[in-house]
Amino acid sequence: MKLKAFLIFIVFTNDAFSQNSSVKVLDTDFSKGRLQNVQTITLNDAVKLHGHLCDGLVVGFLGLKETMYKLYTDSIIDRTNNRIVSKPSPCLTDIAIFMTGARYQYNTFYVSDSIKYQFIVHRIDNEKTYGVKLKSGLLPSAIDSLGKLAVKGDLDACGIDSLRKLESQFSSFLLSKNPQDLFIIEEIKNYKWGPVLKSNFLKTDVLNKKLKDCVR
């Protein structure tokens, strides 16, 4: 039954995937190479990194795609030339490093729960910076309320399945829309990169991994 529901979700979002789920980027061509490897990365590629498709991954992919287009109006997106601050959600942090090429160990990525955006993205060569967040009112309140219960361990197996269905439906909604209508993207003038090192955030996507199946 779960597999059937997942396949229906994939079929439903197939057209939207083809329109919204890929972006062309520029990388180096080997470990010590030149900046000349043009390739297309996709949401499905990010799913393999993250481990599953979810609404947070979709939000991050679409929001960062639009933000990177604003940062690189003059050229292809260069994944060797970015810094990013991300909210601590495991979905958002994974998509942040995937889309921008930024990494903690090179002082180009850190996590903060105090920023007012989901991401702050900084282009290194010209210091142009944008903050991006999903517009308020788009996330269904049920996802927020059930998600908080799940984090506390207060959602039973059937409730977890209901939350998964709601998130899948929201992902479908997001992928069916023009991303420009979904996000607030604001330029941040005179931004100063100042990483705050913190490593005790809660990894919420593994809290219920041993929960038994729903029995109705």
Residue 14, pLDDT above cutoff 70:
no
Residue 208 lies in a domain: no
Q: How far is CA 30 from CA 35, 36, 133, in A?
A: 9, 10, 34
Residue 8 lies in a domain: yes
Residue 38 lies in a domain: yes
pTM, entire model: 0.88
DSSP string, 100-165: H---GGGTSEEE-SS-SSSEEEEETTT--EEEEEEPTT-S-HHHHHHHHHHHHT---HHHHHHHHH
* Helix pair 55-71, 157-175: axis angle to 10 deg: 30
In the chain the first and final C-alpha atoms are separated, in Å, by 13
- In this prediction, what percent of the chain has a pLDDT beyond 70? 91
Which residue shows structure tokens 């309320």?
Answer: 145
Residue 109 lies in a domain: yes
Distance (Å, whole) CA 4 – CA 129: 43
State the CATH number of the domain containing residue 133: 3.30.1330.130
Query: What band does 60 get if pLDDT is binned at 50, 70 and 90?
Result: very high
Residue 205 lies in a domain: no
Burial of residue 187, with CB atoms counted within 10 A of its CB: 0-12 exposed, 13-18 middle, 19 or more buried: exposed
Q: Residues 14-32: what's their mean pLDDT?
A: 81
Residue 213 lies in a domain: no
Residue 6, pLDDT above cutoff 50:
no
- Strand-pairing partners, residue 25, are 39, 77
Number of structural domains, the chain? 1
Q: What is the mean pLDDT of the chain?
A: 91
What range does the domain containing 31 cover? 2-191
For residue 18, what pLDDT is reported?
54
Give the tens place of pLDDT for each residue, 97-146: 999 999 999 999 999 999 999 999 999 999 999 999 999 999 999 999 99
